[in-house]
Each structure stands twice: as C-alpha cells, then as structure tokens.
Amino acid sequence: MNLYSASFFGALTVLGAIVLSTSCSRMQDYAGAWQGLPVRLEGVSGASDASSVVTIDFAPSDSKNGSGDVMLLATVDVSQAVESGSPFVADQAYQVDVAATASISGRYVPEDDAYDDVLLLSLDASTLKVNIDPAGVTFSQNVLTGLQQPALDSLTAQTVDAWRVRVTSAIREEFSKYQKIEDVKVHHADMMSCEIADRDYTFRRISIR
C-alpha cells in the first residue's frame, strides 16, 4: 500500500470515528424523559372535551447503533356533559370529569446510523396500560348533594369502566403517531423540538439519564 492509499484510508477511519462519536453524543443529548404540552385528544367517544400530555422517556442501551428502550406516558383529562334522564339523576343534566393515565413501551433506533434526527419507534401493543382512579372522577356539585353514597359509588364505578374503554381506544391511536419522530433537535440541553405525524411538537426535559 502506497503512502497516498494509507493516508486516504486513515482519513476515512478518522471520519467514521468522528461521525460515530458525534452520533453517540447526540443520542446522549436527549436520553431521559421529555414532557410535551397539552394537546386535544381526538376520538374519545362521548367526550365534550379531551386533552392529553405525553412524556417520552428515552433509555439508550446500544452505543453502536444508537438504539434503546422507550416508554410513552400520558395523562388524560376528559369532560362529558350528561343530559338529564340518567338512571341516577333523572331530573337534571350534569358534568363528569375524568383523569386517566396511560403508558406503552418499546424500542427505538435511528433511521440512519450516521444521523439521529429521525427516530423509529417499535411500540409493543401488549404493554399498553390505561388506568382511571375512581378518586379522579368528579361530578357536578349539585349531583353530589342529591345522591346517596351507594348510588354515587355505583355511578363512579360505571363511569370508570365506560371511560377506560373509550380512553384506551383514543390513546392507542395517539401513541401510534409516535412510530416515527422526525427532525429531532435539542436546544440548550432542556428543550427538544421534533415533528410527529406532520405536526411540530415541543418537549421540555424533566429528567436526565
């Protein structure tokens, strides 16, 4: 091998090392948990209003290809205006507010080994969990004063069961949008911007790994 060839291949080796080092460094830049802003949650059947706040938790596990574990967590707030005629409250309309949490986990990997501004997520549907705490279900005050405790407990239980099904369907669809996260950029170490399903999102760092 002549001097020119040795220099050429040596330069390629150095360049490859720089690219790998830069990519790994950038992967570490957004390792940790990032919380988004409240967005309207579409597809919640029967809701007069529904919103969610999604947190993405990146846990790098392979420095060679920049892949790792990922978890999506969401807090969901739902409101429903119930017309009069309910079996429990037949003579007046009322409002119910429900607070839920949801999570799903999986793996992520950069779309291109050399550039990590596009992440592909493979989410495991079997890990999807949706929880509604009965303590987070609230009714209009005038309904509460008109109900005996057993009737209120029954109404709360029915509300939890019904909304768990509705929220699960909607949040499953919302999480599916995160299969590809594009144009990922970290700003000043504590803000992250990206594009998800052709929409711009901003997240703030809430923990570092």
pLDDT score recorded for residue 24: 47
Give the DSSP per-residue string, the chain. --HHHHHHHHHHHHHHHHHHHHHHHHHHHT-EEEEE--EE-TT-TT-SEEEEEEEEEEEEEETTTTEEEEEEEEEEEEEEEEPS--SS-TT--EEEEEEEEEEEEEEEEEEETTEEEEEEEEE-GGG-EEEE-GGG-EE-HHHHHHS-HHHHHHHHHHHHHHHHHHHHHHHHHHHHGGGEEEEEEEETTTEEEEEETTEEEEEEEEEE-
pLDDT score recorded for residue 145: 61
Exposure string for 91-119, b = 16+ CB within 10 A, e = fewer: eeebebebbbbbbbbbbbbbeeeeebeeb
CB 73 within 8 A of CB 57: yes
pLDDT score recorded for residue 29: 76
Parent domain of 89: 3-208
The pLDDT confidence band at residue 33, using thresholds 50, 70 and 90, is very high
- Give 82-112 pLDDT, tens digit per residue: 775 555 554 566 788 999 999 999 999 998 7
CB 186 within 8 A of CB 29: yes
- Give 129-173 pLDDT, tens digit per residue: 999 999 888 887 666 565 666 666 777 888 899 999 999 999 999
- Give 38-95 pLDDT, tens digit per residue: 999 999 998 999 999 999 999 998 767 789 999 999 999 999 887 755 555 545 667 8
pLDDT above 90 covers a percentage of the chain that reads: 55
The rounded distance, in Å, linking the Cα atoms of 58 and 68 is 7
The rounded distance, in Å, linking the Cα atoms of 175 and 168 is 10
pLDDT score recorded for residue 181: 96
pLDDT score recorded for residue 199: 96
pLDDT score recorded for residue 131: 96
pLDDT score recorded for residue 19: 44
The rounded distance, in Å, linking the Cα atoms of 175 and 41 is 11
**Position 5 pLDDT exceeds 70:** no
Kindly report the backbone phi and psi dihedral angles of residue 30, in degrees, each rounded to the nearest multiple of 5, phi listed first. -110, 15
pTM: 0.80
The total domain count for the chain is 1
